Amino acid sequence: MSEDILHLGLIDDEFIALDEAALALAAPDHPGIDLAPYRALLADMAEQLTLHREAAPRSSYESAYDQAVLLAAVIAGQYDFRGAVENYDDPANADLIAVLDR
């Protein structure tokens, strides 16, 4: 088991960076993979979310619904990510590396 995964079990939930945790949990299924491109993509997505939020009036992202709309605009609209409709229960849908590759 990798150091990253062991670390997750030792820290309080509020200190877990979910993106890093998801990459750490997916990495053992992708031996030797370089996580840098995945981190870069996630960082770019986060930057785009920030830019979209900063460009919108404050009242347009206060509710959970408004935040979901913002996420959809960036994740689906800008990056063309889609849900797995035909194979929703496939374990690969919980593998962030596999999801980002698709």
pLDDT at 61: 66
d(CA 63, CA 65): 5
Instruction: Enumerate residues 6+ apart whose C-beta is below 8 A from 45.
Output: 74, 75, 79
pLDDT at 74: 93
pLDDT at 55: 81
d(CA 100, CA 41): 9
Q: What is the pLDDT along the chain (102 residues), one digit of tens a residue?
A: 577 787 777 888 888 889 999 999 999 999 999 999 999 999 999 999 989 888 877 666 678 888 888 899 999 999 999 888 888 888 889 999 999 998
Vertex 13 angle, CA 10 and 19, to 5°: 100
Here the tokens at position 30 are 């992708």
Judge contact between 93 and 84, C-beta under 8 A.
yes
Here the tokens at position 9 are 């079990």
pLDDT at 7: 78
